[in-house]
Amino acid sequence: MKYLIVGLGNIGAKYENTRHNIGFKTLDALVKASSVVFSPNRLGDTAEVGHKGRKLLLLKPSTYMNLSGKAVNYWMQAEKIPLERVLIITDDLALPFGALRLKGKGSAGGHNGLKSIGEVVGVQDYARLSFGVGNEFSKGKQVDYVLGDWSAEEEDQLGERLDKCCQIIKAFSVNTLGRVMSDFNGK
DSSP label at residue 162:
H
Give the model's confidence band at 165: pLDDT under 50 very low, under 70 low, under 90 confident, else very high. very high
Verify whether residue 51 is a known catalytic residue. no
Q: What is the CATH number of the domain that holds 142?
A: 3.40.50.1470
Which has the closest alpha carbon to 174: 52, 2, 55? Answer: 52
Q: Over the stretch 122-162, which tens digit does the pLDDT of each residue have?
A: 988 999 999 999 888 888 888 889 899 899 999 999 999 99
Q: Which residues, at least 6 apart from 139, have a Cβ–Cβ distance to it below 8 Å?
A: none
Return the pLDDT at 136.
Answer: 83
Return the pLDDT at 46.
Answer: 98
The number of domains in the chain is 1
Average pLDDT, the chain: 94
Q: Which residues, at least 6 apart from 176, have a Cβ–Cβ distance to it below 8 Å?
A: none
In this structure, the strands spanning 86-92 and 44-51 are: unpaired
Domain of 115 in residue numbering reads as 2-184
Which has the closest alpha carbon to 86: 97, 75, 98? Answer: 75
Which of 3, 18, 19, 20 is labelled catalytic? 20
Q: Taking the model in full, what pTM does it have?
A: 0.95
Q: Over the stretch 82-114, which tens digit does the pLDDT of each residue have?
A: 999 999 999 999 999 999 999 999 888 888 899
